[in-house]
Amino acid sequence: MPPSRSLAHELGVARQTVVLAYERLAAEGYVRGRTGSGTYVATDLPDQAPVPAATPPLAAVSLSARGARMAEIPAAASARDPALGLLLAGGLPAPDLFPVKAWARCTTRVMKPLAGELSSYPPPQGLLVLREQIAAHLAATRGLVADPGCIVVSNGTQQALRTAADLLLDPGDPVWVEDPGYIAGRGALLAAGAQIVPIPSDAEGIDVAAGVRIAPNARLALVAPSHATPLGGALPIGRRLALLDWARRANAWVLEDDCDSEFRWEGKPLPPLATLDKAGQVIYCGTFSKTLAPALRIGFAIVPPPLVAAFVRLRTLTDRGTDGFTQATLAEFMRQGLLSPHIRKMRTEYARRRDALLEAMARHVHRAVALAAPGGLHMVARLPDDMDESAAVRASRMRDLAVSPLRAYYPGTPRMNGLVIGFAATPVSMANEVAKRLEAALVSVARTAAA
């Protein structure tokens, strides 16, 4: 190779540029430097550059049988298109109501004292200061007394459910799930190898008597006692006591999903099922995805004392804990007393948005009936039995409405035709426009079917 000084002069560049290029070629094995002699092209280079390998026609064949099954498990009603927007998106909070300024102040406040801890992994159980704030918040707002030592912070409810399933279930174990019910929660159980047993869910939540008849020896039940997804049923006291009695007799566990119980539109908020648990068989799962933002990825589980060590160990093996900086910011946000006023503000605004959408649908939508759930951030629009639900979803999305098919929520045979629609991220000013778009979508489906 030419001497670096000569080549630099020839190319009109700094000598250091050539030196760095030669060092790069040497590091990659293209040239060899000989002390006192110069730089030489390596003698063991191939005559031709390697031909890029073609993509295998069946790339999935490299998956294990278990991996292939997991890759087919649905995590949502349908794939979400980020370009679609949030109008009528079910179960999502309003991004315009996130307390940006207050959150930023808390972020600044915790940055300096936390700086030294950012160089190490966060505690797999979660920061103690956050677990203490969660315990205080649940006692004040949900009437649930929890020991911070039994709280495990997770990356959202989904991870808490999956952790519990991995610890408590063997492949093939039968598990009760609400029918219709929470899709991602069902997916967490399927990923753990559970045998899903659909139990009918009606206006009063899961039918416990039916569950006892269908699968009396199930190992676990996944329920949302305060607000079943997507129909909104809430378990009355009789069914709650029956569920706990079954769990005790069957030596089974109950996973309580309490993700959006703060938002109750009819009657008083219902206490968690865990407040009635005397045998230590309920694992209570909560999240800040609905009250603040899903992007925070902070949820938690209240775990019976005998399970805490195993929960923490599996969290360590899974991902070494939830982001410590976000945990610290949330703890400061709660410590300053900012979470409860924020929830009250959201509850007031969401009630306005819910009422506005219901009124607009009553006025403009004639081919669907809105079923106003007593809680949560979404509702069901029931379609005529003869309408193609998939076509209705496609037509709605063509008009930038992020609706979901009700059929996807049924692990068993669907018993109703409909769309799952959200109202939290749909401003009051857009309610009439959104209802008109929805009616136009349904009219187009009806006309196509009649043609």
What is the chain's pLDDT, residue by residue, as a tens digit (451 residues)?
898 888 999 999 999 999 899 889 888 888 888 877 888 888 887 767 666 666 655 554 678 888 888 888 888 877 667 677 788 888 889 999 999 999 999 999 998 777 666 668 889 999 999 999 999 999 999 999 999 999 999 999 999 999 999 999 999 999 999 999 999 999 999 999 999 999 999 988 999 999 999 999 999 999 999 888 898 888 999 999 999 999 999 999 999 999 888 888 887 778 899 999 999 999 999 999 999 999 999 999 999 999 999 999 999 998 888 999 999 999 999 999 999 999 999 999 999 999 999 999 999 999 999 998 888 899 999 999 999 999 999 999 999 999 999 999 999 899 999 999 999 999 999 999 999 999 999 999 999 988 7
With H, G, I as helix, E, B as strand and everything else as coil, classify residue 276: helix
Contacts 24+ apart (CB under 8 A), 64-68: 66/193
What is the pLDDT, as a whole number, of residue 56? 58
What is the pLDDT, as a whole number, of residue 262? 86
- Cα 25–Cα 27–Cα 32 angle in degrees, nearest 5: 65
Say which amino acid occupies 281: Q
Q: Are 92 and 86 in contact (CB under 8 A)?
A: yes
**DSSP-assigned beta bridge partners for residue 372:** none
Residue bearing tokens 């007393």: 337
Enclosing H/E stretch for 39: strand 38-41
User: How far apart, in whole angstroms, are the C-alpha atoms of residue 253 and residue 205?
Assistant: 18
Q: What is the DSSP pairing of strand 195-202 with strand 369-371?
A: unpaired
- This model's pTM is above 0.75: yes
Residue 15 in tokens? 């000598």
- Which of 432, 389, 408 lies closest to 79, judged by CA? 408
What is the pLDDT, as a whole number, of residue 261? 83
Residue 140 in tokens? 């004040």
With H, G, I as helix, E, B as strand and everything else as coil, classify residue 55: coil
**DSSP-assigned beta bridge partners for residue 199:** 178
Residue bearing tokens 């949820």: 299
User: How far apart, in whole angstroms, are the C-alpha atoms of residue 84 and residue 66?
Assistant: 33
Q: Are 192 and 73 in contact (CB under 8 A)?
A: no
User: How far apart, in whole angstroms, are the C-alpha atoms of residue 161 and residue 181?
Assistant: 14
Which DSSP letter does residue 375 get?
B
- Peptide bond preceding 230: is omega within 30 degrees of 0, i.e. cis? yes
Q: Are 247 and 278 in contact (CB under 8 A)?
A: no
Residue bearing tokens 């959408």: 357
User: How far apart, in whole angstroms, are the C-alpha atoms of residue 191 and residue 186?
Assistant: 9
Contacts (Cβ under 8 Å, ≥6 apart) of 172: 193, 194, 195
- Which of 176, 41, 158 lies closest to 91, judged by CA? 158
What is the pLDDT, as a whole number, of residue 390? 94
Residue 269 in tokens? 């908020």
Domains of the chain: 4-41 (1.10.10.10), 82-92+341-450 (3.90.1150.10), 100-337 (3.40.640.10)
User: How far apart, in whole angstroms, are the C-alpha atoms of residue 200 and residue 309?
Assistant: 34
- Which of 259, 250, 251 lies closest to 226, judged by CA? 259
Which segments of 274-396 are extended strands (E)? Answer: 282-287, 299-302, 369-371, 378-382
Max CA pair span of the chain: 91
User: How far apart, in whole angstroms, are the C-alpha atoms of residue 143 and residue 274?
Assistant: 10
Give me the DSSP letters along 210-243.
Answer: HHHHH-TT-SEEEE-SSS-TTT-----HHHHHHH
Residue 182 in tokens? 């929470």
Which sign, positive or negative, has the C-alpha torsion 83, 86, 92, 96? positive
